[in-house]
């Protein structure tokens, strides 16, 4: 079972709340990307959050939440948000920002690898913002988790860097529309929108290229029981 931090202000150090797989990706020090104090919590991606606008606030999942910009924006809109990231400092930053904004009672945070983390409930909205593992078993498992996490009628929004247009990244690091749409259709979701977009770069001036897929779980989906 994945261990969560509970309310965001319960502790100031997220490093003792590891879920399964938190030490994955040994070839890249993801934790070094984050300050851990909330100063690196960026503005939300409003375009990627837009599919949630017409939904009644309920439970939301941000899988690969980073420093929490999107998760906090959902909490501010009334959602109860589960934020998951494999970097302890990313979760620490999300916690610090949630505490500073008085949103800790709407946040459940976990340090865990998206490839092995499993939801303990279902969500009306799920989000993955440029956080997929490289192509392979870990990506396949992450996409399956996103689909499984949705309640019937729930919406998934996923953004990833476009390997057909970006001039950076190792083979398999980025994504394309065909693989994402085929994966979600195979997982029983209805693809509502799938498009390539020009988006602002995160750390440097200029533009980059992304693929965005919005999918819905049909209301007639039968969930396994056991």
Out of 4-8, 116-120, 194-198, the most confident range is 116-120
Range in 28-42, 47-61, 127-141 with the lowest mean pLDDT: 28-42
Q: Is the pTM of this model over 0.75?
A: yes
pLDDT in tens, 18-49: 333 334 444 557 777 888 898 889 999 999 99
Residues 128-157: what's their mean pLDDT?
Answer: 96
pLDDT in tens, 92-126: 999 999 999 999 999 999 999 999 999 999 999 99
Distance CA 127, CA 119 (A): 13
Residues 49-56: what's their mean pLDDT?
Answer: 95
Exposure b/e, 137-169, CB count within 10 A at least 16 = b: ebbebbbebbbbbbbeebbbbbbbbbbeeeeee
The pLDDT assigned to 97 comes to 97
Alpha helices in 28-87 (DSSP H): 46-49, 69-76
């Amino acid at each position: 079972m994945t261990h969560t931090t509970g309310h965001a202000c319960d502790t100031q150090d997220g490093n003792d709340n590891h879920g399964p797989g938190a030490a994955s990706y040994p070839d890249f020090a993801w934790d070094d990307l984050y300050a851990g104090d909330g100063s690196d919590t960026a503005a939300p991606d409003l375009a990627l959050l837009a599919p949630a606008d017409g939904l009644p606030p309920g439970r939301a999942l941000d899988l690969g939440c980073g420093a929490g910009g999107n998760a906090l924006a959902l909490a501010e809109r009334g959602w109860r948000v589960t934020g998951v990231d494999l970097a302890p400092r990313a979760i620490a930053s999300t916690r610090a920002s949630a505490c500073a904004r008085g949103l800790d009672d709407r946040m459940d945070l976990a340090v865990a690898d998206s490839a092995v983390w499993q939801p303990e409930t279902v969500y009306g909205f799920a989000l993955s913002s440029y956080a997929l593992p490289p192509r392979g078993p870990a990506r396949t498992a992450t996409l399956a988790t996103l689909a499984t996490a949705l309640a019937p009628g729930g919406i998934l929004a996923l953004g990833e860097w476009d390997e057909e247009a970006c001039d950076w990244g190792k083979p398999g690091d980025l994504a394309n529309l065909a693989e994402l749409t085929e994966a979600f259709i195979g997982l029983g979701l209805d693809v509502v929108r799938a498009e390539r977009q020009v988006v602002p770069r995160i750390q440097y001036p200029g533009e980059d290229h992304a693929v965005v897929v919005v999918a819905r779980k049909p209301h007639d989906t039968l969930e396994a029981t056991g």
